[in-house]
Chain A
Amino acid sequence: MSRWTKERVEEALTGPLSRRTFLKGMAAAGAMAVLPCGLLAPEAAGATESYGGGYTVFRNACPRNCYDTCAIKTYVQDGVAKFVEGAPESTFTRGGLCVKGNSYIRSTYSPDRIKYPMEQQGRGTGKWKRLTWDEAMDKIARKILAIKEQDGSLLGLGLTKYSGNFGITNYGVEGMMSSLGYTTRFVGTPCWPAGIDAQNFDMGSMWCNDPEDMVKSRYIIVWGANPAWCSVHSMKYLYAAREAGAKIVVIDPVFTQTAAKGDEYWQVATGTDGALALGMCRHILDREMYDKDWVAANSLGFEEFADYLRSNVTVDWAAKLSGLPAERIVAVAEEFAAARPATVWIGYGLQRHVNGGATVRAIDALVAMTGNIGKEGGGARYGHLQTWGFNYHAMVQKPPEGAVGFVGASGPKGEFDFAGGDKTVKHTDRAVNINKTAQEILDARNPPIRMLWASCKNVLSQDFDRPKMIEAFGKLEMVVVVDHFFNQTVEQADIVLPVTTCLEEWTVNVSYWHYWLALNEQAVKPLHEARSNIEIAAALSRRINELAPGSCTFPTEIDTREWMEAEFNKGIYDLFGLKSWEELRDGPVKAKLASSAAWHDRKFATPSKKYEFKSELCAKNGHEALPAYKEGRKAYDKLRLLTPHSKFSLHSQFQNLDWMEEFNPAPVVYIHPRTAEARGIRHGDAVRVFNKVGEEKLRAVLTANVPPDALLLYEAWFNGRKFNCQNLVDDTSADMGAFKTGAPGVAIHDQFADVARA
């Protein structure tokens, strides 16, 4: 005799044939006449099948601050995203994602997501009350109006936003601020500004070759970058180049995964990369191996640069500073100069120093004097914004009639400031340095910064000098944080708002490295009560205009798909050979490039229209006109402290997921065995890392992969742990960045500390 079983019921509920019989049986029993209850409702007649539908494929893009900006295919069944894969149509993404991108299902459906708007009764108390969206918007709107009433302007409202989500419509956060009036903006970038300025002085803009053309390189120096972790899709081009005979040299203070893949590895003394580059330049000059024709035709100031090298630089000097053998410097310099083409991948790590901009200029000079700029397979590769010419429809919003702002120096800018400055406007936002967020909050007067809105930004994890930040937060009257997960910034928030993940919103994405354009569709309906940044802006506008008509120009009702569409323009369509954005539903497309080489026509964007070894603009901005060596920061403690990116996170994102915790459960500090021995520290010991900023307690891992004079701990926050590398990093500025991004960079890797058994 056969009985019902668990499996049989499940089969009856879900099997396409058995279900029909089962439902018929249920109907006969009168179950369909069940009274409507409290929460569930009678299913609408003809309701769509609830189970076992086919897959629908949606297009997404990874919007993180990552070189690769992968195009994603998301497979959705029954309204649930089941799995993701890299889009095969992109030759760059080529069907694969990294460990982070592969976790998007995991993050979207994590039980840990922030689900509802909530309000904390006292920052850091953990006493949270749930709010409806209306209640949350009401509280925020009233606070904004009170600030306007009190100060006569909205400069007391500060916005900090950076790279948590680079989807173009997310610039609507800036748009929301503009639509309220003139506010205080944390401007600049903690990421790459010194290098941006350096390349602007040398070439007139930051523009890199298509990374896919690295296959044509005959010599590749990966300098201060770790693509094996941070740009996994680029590695295949390095390998292909090597297959074709190229040599790969990796220069890094840390023996990274990329270093392990190179043909030659140089463990450079941290912060001396500029000397190393100049030493190579000097040798190439002495051997007359530089590209005389290129230099004569395309550059300005080479003779002065050569004079500088002859009188200030020797290979021995470079060897002494960098800690590398002179013979290898000479050999690699000769190989690099002889290879046609040769290229340098200039990483962001090496410019996070007080001499970072000068370092990038020195490396640029090495690539330029060997005639490798403007060549396919060559180039001083740093990044580009060539494909970012969107409308910034969400971002560009008008202030309300009569808005009062900051009168003085020009308003904020940033590397993604495409709006341009309108010189006729008297009032502006008040621009303050994002890399000194804590200090700026402490220092702001007339009016003080009373309220902080943080979106796409984990302030307490990514901004410098945490002890000072906590002090600064003490001055803020209201903190609003828009995020996915409960991190250390949410912990310090008054109001938290749940935001959509990339699978839940419409937007469009491009890369600052490759040349592909990808659509990001709403693959699934937002979970819980999450809303996209522009929907939040619309909701705020609705409420604040109810309370005080005319106080916000942001539309109060928006269709997020239409807003995505509104970012496209003829320039984008032409660049990518598109007639309509809808074509992106068939997959990402690549820009139609005249050449894969940046500066292929050698028409530089500098004042002289040449490559400027000598840049008066650079001098005018307070630096040396020549790419001269600049001293690093003087050590303020016994060991150097490095806090680079981990494999399991992108800045503060991803590490909190259980999949990452499985492999990387707790923060550790990496110490060279000799350094550890001198302090009686063994592998696995609990230790204290400390300096003038603060201290961190964590476990020691001994490895000769880090130099003896350095400690290394990865950035990012761990769920439920107090760990925060910003307890050990101060906010000292890098040399460059203010020219193009509005604020100098920050010397993240010019930090020092000591370690002891805890």
Chain B
Amino acid sequence: MSHPDAALAALRDFFAAGSGAELERACARLATAGCVPPPEADEDLEYDFNRLFVGPGRLAAPPYASVYLETEPRLMGETTLLVRAVYHALGLASPRQSALPDDHLSLELDAALALRAAAGEADGPEMAALRRYFLAEHLGRWLPAFAARVREASPHPAVACAVSRLLDWLDHELSAVPEYGEYGRDERQRRCV
């Protein structure tokens, strides 16, 4: 796995963490991306991570796209189903189904990894369009708002660093992803008839 992918995978695992130990492991991997890992047995990170992203209270920064992209913040909105359709187009699905809504940040970063892995010679117009869509129209639209909410909530330094790496990654991807290409020729011909 190339270096940017390793960082992305570490970010994914950071936001997917279900325990202090998993958080710690993800932090260790983020160290290569320049995030200083918190001291061992720093429980404050776990408490803060849960306050921001997990619960049980009202979340300071819910890590779900639909909270930012729907007219009214909610889970399992149209956005969530669109994201599920993106996974479907990639031949993927979340095995956790409603136990973890499809537009949870960790799953979306996993899909971003899949999009990178799928990049190659055979990249057709559909794949290119999907990549542009997912990065620019989806992640690009909600991650900045999400990051702003995290920052407003005075996060633990490890969370702050992970979120700024997330934005760095997004910026990099957005600058690299080509603009939308031409719409499929066959389609156009049919339309012209």
Contact of A42 among B50, B55, B91 (CB under 8 A): B91
Which residues of the partner chain B approach A10 to less than 8 Å between Cβ atoms?
Answer: 82, 133
Residues of chain B touching chain A, judged by Cβ–Cβ distance below 8 Å, are 9, 12-13, 16, 18-20, 43, 46-47, 50-51, 54-59, 62, 64, 67, 72-77, 80-82, 84-101, 106-107, 110-111, 113-114, 117-118, 120, 122-130, 132-133, 137, 179-184, 187-188, 191
Is B110 a contact of A126 with CB atoms below 8 Å? Answer: no
Is A116 a contact of B137 with CB atoms below 8 Å? Answer: no
Which residues of the partner chain A approach B97 to less than 8 Å between Cβ atoms?
Answer: 79, 525
Nearest Cβ on chain A to B131's Cβ, whole angstroms: 10
Is B18 a contact of A31 with CB atoms below 8 Å? Answer: no
One of A17-25, A242-250, A620-628, A678-686 at the interface:
A17-25
Query: Bound complex: CA of A121 vs CA of B44, how far in Å?
Result: 11
Q: Please name the 9 residue pairs, one residue from A and one from B, whose CB atoms are nearest each other, closest first.
A: A25-B126, A29-B124, A4-B180, A32-B91, A9-B133, A4-B129, A13-B85, A40-B92, A111-B62
Which residues of the partner chain A approach B106 to less than 8 Å between Cβ atoms?
Answer: 39
A1-43 contacts to B (CB < 8 Å): 1-6, 8-10, 12-14, 19, 21-23, 25-26, 28-35, 37-43
Is A34 a contact of B88 with CB atoms below 8 Å? Answer: no
A165-208 contacts to B (CB < 8 Å): none
Is B124 a contact of A26 with CB atoms below 8 Å? Answer: yes
Nearest Cβ on chain B to A481's Cβ, whole angstroms: 9
Query: Bound complex: CA of A528 vs CA of B54, how far in Å?
Result: 11
Query: Which of B46, B96, B99, B187 neighbours the largest number of chain A CB atoms within 10 Å of its CB?
Result: B99
One of A127-135, A450-458, A722-730 at the interface:
A127-135
Which residues of the partner chain B approach A3 to less than 8 Å between Cβ atoms?
Answer: 179-183
Query: Bound complex: CA of A22 vs CA of B186, how far in Å?
Result: 12
Is B99 a contact of A130 with CB atoms below 8 Å? Answer: no
Which residues of the partner chain B approach A40 to less than 8 Å between Cβ atoms?
Answer: 87, 90, 92-95, 107, 110-111, 114
Contact of A8 among B64, B100, B183 (CB under 8 A): B183
Which residues of the partner chain B approach A440 to less than 8 Å between Cβ atoms?
Answer: none
Query: Bound complex: CA of A401 vs CA of B104, how far in Å?
Result: 47
Which residues of the partner chain A approach B137 to less than 8 Å between Cβ atoms?
Answer: 6, 9
Contact of A527 among B94, B101, B184, B188 (CB under 8 A): B101
Q: Mark A91-120, 1 if CB is under 8 A from B, else 0.
A: 000000000000000100111111110100
Name the residue on A nearest B113 (C-beta).
A37
Name the residue on A nearest B100 (C-beta).
A528
For this complex, 12 residue pairs linking A to B, each with C-beta atoms less than 8 Å apart, are A30-B118, A34-B117, A37-B110, A39-B107, A41-B92, A41-B94, A44-B93, A50-B85, A112-B58, A116-B54, A121-B43, A127-B47
Is A2 a contact of B182 with CB atoms below 8 Å? Answer: yes
Nearest Cβ on chain A to B47's Cβ, whole angstroms: 4
Check A55 for interface membership: any CB of B closer than 8 A.
no
Which residues of the partner chain A approach B43 to less than 8 Å between Cβ atoms?
Answer: 121, 127, 129
Contact of A111 among B12, B74, B81 (CB under 8 A): B74
Query: Bound complex: CA of A22 vs CA of B94, how far in Å?
Result: 21
Check A719 for interface membership: any CB of B closer than 8 A.
yes
Is A529 a contact of B93 with CB atoms below 8 Å? Answer: no
Which residues of the partner chain B approach A22 to less than 8 Å between Cβ atoms?
Answer: 89, 126
Query: Bound complex: CA of A118 vs CA of B51, how far in Å?
Result: 12
Name the residue on B nearest A7 (C-beta).
B137
Check A594 for interface membership: any CB of B closer than 8 A.
no
Is A80 a contact of B81 with CB atoms below 8 Å? Answer: yes
Check A78 for interface membership: any CB of B closer than 8 A.
yes
Is B88 a contact of A38 with CB atoms below 8 Å? Answer: no
A507-560 contacts to B (CB < 8 Å): 524-529
Is A490 a contact of B56 with CB atoms below 8 Å? Answer: yes
Is B54 a contact of A38 with CB atoms below 8 Å? Answer: no
Which residues of the partner chain A approach B59 to less than 8 Å between Cβ atoms?
Answer: 111-112
**Further pairs besides A39-B16, A50-B87: 14, Cβ < 8 Å:** A8-B183, A28-B122, A30-B120, A40-B92, A50-B93, A51-B82, A51-B84, A51-B85, A78-B84, A109-B77, A115-B54, A116-B54, A129-B50, A527-B76
Known: A32-B91, A525-B97, A528-B99. A14 touches B85 (CB 8 A): yes
Is B56 a contact of A118 with CB atoms below 8 Å? Answer: yes
Query: Bound complex: CA of A106 vs CA of B87, how far in Å?
Result: 25
Is A31 a contact of B118 with CB atoms below 8 Å? Answer: yes
Contact of A524 among B9, B86, B98 (CB under 8 A): B98
Nearest Cβ on chain B to A507's Cβ, whole angstroms: 19
Which residues of the partner chain B approach A498 to less than 8 Å between Cβ atoms?
Answer: 56
Name the residue on B nearest A493 (C-beta).
B56
Is A43 a contact of B84 with CB atoms below 8 Å? Answer: no
A38-78 contacts to B (CB < 8 Å): 38-44, 47, 50-51, 78
Query: Bound complex: CA of A528 vs CA of B122, how far in Å?
Result: 38
Query: Bound complex: CA of A37 vs CA of B106, how far in Å?
Result: 12
Majority SS at the chain A contact face: loop
Contact of B50 among A37, A128, A527 (CB under 8 A): A128
Is B98 a contact of A50 with CB atoms below 8 Å? Answer: no
Query: Which of B76, B94, B120 neighbours the largest number of chain A CB atoms within 10 Å of its CB?
Result: B76
Query: Bound complex: CA of A297 vs CA of B75, how far in Å?
Result: 62
Which residues of the partner chain A approach B51 to less than 8 Å between Cβ atoms?
Answer: 126, 128
Which residues of the partner chain B approach A408 to less than 8 Å between Cβ atoms?
Answer: none
Check A237 for interface membership: any CB of B closer than 8 A.
no
Known: A3-B181, A111-B75, A490-B56. A30 touches B107 (CB 8 A): no
Known: A3-B181, A6-B133. A12 touches B88 (CB 8 A): no
Which residues of the partner chain A approach B87 to less than 8 Å between Cβ atoms?
Answer: 40, 43, 50
Query: Bound complex: CA of A29 vs CA of B100, how far in Å?
Result: 29
Is B58 a contact of A114 with CB atoms below 8 Å? Answer: no
Query: Bound complex: CA of A26 vs CA of B134, how far in Å?
Result: 15
Name the residue on A nearest B126 (C-beta).
A25
Name the residue on A nearest B186 (C-beta).
A21
Query: Which of B88, B100, B113 neighbours the largest number of chain A CB atoms within 10 Å of its CB?
Result: B88
Which residues of the partner chain B approach A415 to less than 8 Å between Cβ atoms?
Answer: none
Which residues of the partner chain A approach B101 to less than 8 Å between Cβ atoms?
Answer: 527
Known: A80-B81, A490-B56. A109 touches B118 (CB 8 A): no
Which residues of the partner chain B approach A80 to less than 8 Å between Cβ atoms?
Answer: 76, 80-81
Nearest Cβ on chain B to A532's Cβ, whole angstroms: 14
Which residues of the partner chain B approach A25 to less than 8 Å between Cβ atoms?
Answer: 124-127, 184
Query: Bound complex: CA of A115 vs CA of B183, how far in Å?
Result: 42
Which residues of the partner chain A approach B84 to less than 8 Å between Cβ atoms?
Answer: 50-51, 78
Name the residue on A nearest B188 (C-beta).
A2
Which residues of the partner chain B approach A9 to less than 8 Å between Cβ atoms?
Answer: 129-130, 132-133, 137
Query: Bound complex: CA of A3 vs CA of B184, how far in Å?
Result: 8
Nearest Cβ on chain B to A300's Cβ, whole angstroms: 56
Name the residue on B nearest A35 (C-beta).
B117
Is A34 a contact of B182 with CB atoms below 8 Å? Answer: no
Which residues of the partner chain B approach A14 to less than 8 Å between Cβ atoms?
Answer: 81-82, 85
Which residues of the partner chain B approach A6 to less than 8 Å between Cβ atoms?
Answer: 133, 137
Query: Bound complex: CA of A126 vs CA of B77, how far in Å?
Result: 29
Check A720 for interface membership: any CB of B closer than 8 A.
yes
Check A669 for interface membership: any CB of B closer than 8 A.
no
Query: Bound complex: CA of A87 vs CA of B97, how far in Å?
Result: 29
Query: Bound complex: CA of A291 vs CA of B89, how far in Å?
Result: 77
Is B90 a contact of A39 with CB atoms below 8 Å? Answer: no
Is B181 a contact of A4 with CB atoms below 8 Å? Answer: yes
Check A432 for interface membership: any CB of B closer than 8 A.
no
Which residues of the partner chain B approach A26 to less than 8 Å between Cβ atoms?
Answer: 89-91, 124, 126-127, 130
Known: A486-B56, A525-B97. A31 touches B110 (CB 8 A): no
Nearest Cβ on chain B to A134's Cβ, whole angstroms: 12
Query: Bound complex: CA of A323 vs CA of B187, how far in Å?
Result: 82
Is A128 a contact of B88 with CB atoms below 8 Å? Answer: no
Query: Bound complex: CA of A44 vs CA of B93, how far in Å?
Result: 8
Name the residue on A nearest B18 (C-beta).
A130
Query: Which of B12, B57, B77, B84 neighbours the largest number of chain A CB atoms within 10 Å of its CB?
Result: B57
Nearest Cβ on chain B to A736's Cβ, whole angstroms: 39
